[in-house]
Structure 1
Amino acid sequence: MRVQEIPIREIRRPLYRQNDQNKVKALMESIQEIGLQEPIDVLEVDGQYYGFSGCHRYEACTRLGHETIRCNVRRAPRAVLKMHLA
């Protein structure tokens, strides 16, 4: 696994998650003050990035207008992606 900055627009979020808007707001305030402390996790499959966790952090950074987000990137075959989608 490696940590890298990835353009937010390149991360696909295939599963809908209902975020707690109070948590998103608190994260936005924290990120503005001290930056994103914990990277989100993404799978890299065939050059595409898929996010399944870090939904609140992802939304907070998006709403703040960030163009990139720090990610823990794990390369995986398509079979692993299919397991996450099942």
Structure 2
Amino acid sequence: MRIEEIPIHQIRRPLFRQNDQEKVRDLMTSIAEIGLQEPIDVLEVDGQFYGFSGCHRYEACSRLGHETILCRIRRAPRAVLKQHLA
């Protein structure tokens, strides 16, 4: 597992999540003031990045116009990705 900045546009979010907009606004304020404190988790499968958690942090950074986001990256085979999508 490694932690690094990844361009937001390279992270696929295959599952729809309804975010709490008040939480997103609070995170936007916090991230604007002190930066993102906790990386989001992504799976790296065949060179592609998939995000399944950190949806509020992801949306907050996107709405703030950040080009990258700090990620905790775990490499996984396609079978693990399929489990997340099931």
Unaligned runs of at least 5 residues, structure 1: none
Give the deviation of 1:18 after TM superposition.
0.1
In the alignment, which residue of structure 2 is the partner of 1:36?
36
Give the deviation of 1:33 after TM superposition.
0.4
Amino acid at match of 1:67: E
Runs of at least 4 residues off by over 2 Å: none
In the alignment, which residue of structure 2 is the partner of 1:6?
6
Amino acid at match of 1:84: H
* Percent of paired sites with the same residue: 81
Amino acid at match of 2:36: L
Unaligned runs of at least 5 residues, structure 2: none
User: What is the distance in 2 between the residues matched to 1:36 and 1:12?
Assistant: 19
CA offset digits 1:25-69 (Å, max 9, x no partner): 000000000000000000000000000000000000000000000
